[in-house]
Amino acid sequence: LAKTTQPISMDSYEGQEVNITCSHNNIATNDYITWYQQFPSQGPRFIIQGYKTKVTNEVASLFIPADRKSSTLSLPRVSLSDTAVYYCLPGGGNQGGKLIFGQGTELSVKP
């Protein structure tokens, strides 16, 4: 399983763009990169997934460079409600179902 490294915490202000980068140096060829969001007292929630280049949905964008050893989750114009823990999870190709969470990045959005 690919080991991940993310910042433990980040602070931001409302209206700013937030970029969270995750390193996954030993990602396997057939692994995807998935990001989950967890609010306090709730279970994690799927945000976005990609394999390479850029993916965008209504919530976020995901940037993956050509070597795929890192990925960056971009949250445009954050609000207070984006305060949560964000997890980067490479894998899923042939891991047989294990969704393994690292420590995640605790994002705090201030007014």
Residues that bind another protein (CB under 8 A): 32, 34, 41-46, 49, 87, 89, 91-93, 95-104
In angstroms, what is the C-alpha Rg of the chain? 13
Full DSSP string of 6-53: --SEEEEETT--EEEEEE-TT--TT-EEEEEEE-TTS--EEEEEESSE
Beta carbon nearer to another protein, 5 or 15: 5
Identify the residue whose tokens are 């976020």. Answer: 60
Closest distance of CB 81 from another protein, Å: 17
Closest distance of CB 32 from another protein, Å: 4
Beta carbon nearer to another protein, 7 or 92: 92
Beta carbon nearer to another protein, 34 or 70: 34
